[in-house]
Amino acid sequence: MTRVLVSGGAGFIGSHLCDRLLAEGHKVICADSLLTGHKSNIAHLLTEKNFEFMKHDITQYIPIMGEVDYVLNFASPASPIDYYQYPLQTLKVGSIGTRNMLGLAKAKKAVFMQASTSEVYGDPLVNPQDESYWGNVNPIGPRSVYDEAKRFSEALTMAYHNVDKVDTRIVRIFNTYGPRMRLNDGRVVPNFIYQALNGLPLTVYGDGSQTRSFCYVSDLVDGIYRLLMSDVNEPVNLGNPNEISVSKFADVIISLTKSKSGKVFKTLPEDDPKLRQPDISKAKRLLGWEPKVNLEEGLGKAIEWFRDHPEINTL
């Protein structure tokens, strides 16, 4: 039985990844500082014999005894509201934290996976974005603490791969949604669902023509697991290539929730990407992966989850 360390394992994506790893028969160590993650996301796992939780900040030394076969680095604030609030922590976890996790993987002779992001492409000048695109990123803008932390994490990961021969994986994650998203994390899916369920106007920034591509979390986790079990060392995009404007997406949410909400338009934040659509040709070719859950089905599950949680009324 292999042993897997997942940093950020109490976060939205990290907790679903822990579920998948346990279902596949791995032992899982979940490390999370709980800065933006929440123990409720893994409460159902705490009695599992093959699951261990440690509250830990990976910018500090990681005391892991015994063998570790896989080291997965998913620790980082990941939404604008979080990295605006925690800019220094975001930069530290992307630099010092990534170095510590890579050092652990090297010492344990473990496979290392770095969770990266579509934000490495910045406000792209090409659409869709494939892995060969270098991006259009403002290095000192308000989003730079996250964008550049992830770009540095990728560079550090490849340096450890090339110099120290660490067996590495890099996953570039595009917009993902589903159960366990934080209602107040500032991202468009929970914002729109909350507003629609409570009869509030949906807040659309700019004229709403900017696009996003939304992937349901189970599809994403399947792609992550396939990549982890592969021998692909270079970055791979994972996301749903079905692109939709934010304004049209608001209409879909209003329809699915049967809400009487309208839309209100506000100023577009600085450096907010105008386009976001993954080219997943590499994932299809190398991993045999593509998303299966369509937008209406996935949003139905997400809306049901938010309805079933009382915090929907306490934002």
- Point out the residues that are catalytic: 146
* Partners of residue 238 on adjacent β-strands: 173
Backbone angles phi, psi at 94, to 5 degrees: -80, -20
Of 25, 289, 82, 301, the residue nearest 180 (C-alpha): 301
Between CA 112 and CA 123, with CA 117 as vertex, the angle to 5 degrees is: 150
Q: Helix, strand or coil for residue 257?
A: helix
Residue 289 to residue 143: CA distance in whole angstroms? 30
In sequence order, which residues have a C-beta less than 8 Å from that of residue 153 and are 6 or more positions away? 73, 94, 95, 98, 114, 116
In sequence order, which residues have a C-beta less than 8 Å from that of residue 241 and are 6 or more positions away? 128, 213, 277, 278, 279, 280
- Return the half-sphere exposure (C-beta side, CA atoms, 13 A cut-off) of residue 192: 25
Q: Are strands 176-177 and 215-216 parallel, antiparallel or unpaired?
A: parallel
Tokens 């938010």, residue located: 306
Residue 8 to residue 54: CA distance in whole angstroms? 11
In sequence order, which residues have a C-beta less than 8 Å from that of residue 70 and are 6 or more positions away? 2, 3, 4, 5, 26, 110, 111, 112, 113, 228
Tokens 């992307």, residue located: 94
Backbone angles phi, psi at 164, to 5 degrees: -100, 5
